Amino acid sequence: MKRVSFIHMKDGTAEDYRLIGESFAAAQLPLADEVLEQLRKPDHVDIGLPIDRLQHALQSASRALRAGESEEMVVACLLHDIGDNLASWNHPELAAAILRPYVSERVHWIVLHHGLFQTHYYNHHFGRDPDARDRYRGHPHYRACVDFCENYDQNCFDPAYDTLPLEAFEPMVRRLFAKVPDRDLAADDPGS
């Protein structure tokens, strides 16, 4: 494999960075395989839910597909909790970071904020504010995140739901991660 000519990034040439870009793009091809493998991994801990995380993800994606959501949103539903095994307390940020280069700013924002928005359903049981999500009221994607949580997250723990298998979503995952990002990610503000 050809190597770049620099040992300090500031000394890199346009040719060096073209080479890195081509190599980086080629290295992204197995991302779909990695994501699908992560979905298949068993939960580290049984936290008492009626279904496991994979079934929750599949149920979320199945509901989104049947509701006519975009393929991008269906895949986001499938992957919104993918970080649970690695980063339980901040899994939305991990899932959003994986999806960010491949989805719209709207879908990225929804995945990034869904954890906070989900607290609407249980914060009152812990003496916390169930309307903590309202700090984002007025944000262009506030309503979309409320709808995501209502339609594709909080209601996706039903063992009797007719959930589609992972194989039904695999082509969508592969298409999403085969896309070359067309956004200036450095210009995005992930926290807004």
Token pair, residue 118, equals 């989900």
State pTM to two decimals. 0.85
Report whether 162 contacts 83 (CB < 8 A): no
d(CA 39, CA 169): 12
CATH class as words, domain 52-179: mainly alpha
Q: What is the pLDDT of residues 11-56, one digit of tens each?
A: 999 999 888 888 776 666 688 999 999 999 888 778 899 999 999 9
Quote the DSSP letter at residue 165. P
Name, in order, each residue with C-beta under 8 angstroms of 153's C-beta and a sequence gap of 6 or more. Answer: 60, 77, 80, 114, 118
Mean pLDDT (whole number) for 78-92: 90
Q: Among 28-37, 58-67, 176-185, which range has the highest average pLDDT?
A: 58-67
Higher pLDDT: 184 or 104? It is 104
- The ranges assigned to domains in the chain are 52-179
Residue 87, pLDDT score = 86
With beta carbons less than 8 A apart as the criterion, state whether 170 and 97 touch.
no
Cβ neighbors of 58 (< 8 A, separation 6 or more) are: 78, 163, 164, 165, 166, 169
pLDDT 10s digits, 108-163:
999 999 999 999 999 999 999 999 999 999 999 999 999 999 999 999 999 999 99
Q: Which residue has the higher pLDDT, 42 or 185?
A: 42
Q: Cβ distance 118 to 154 under 8 Å?
A: yes
Spatial distance between the Cα atoms of 83 and 39, rounded to a whole number of angstroms: 9
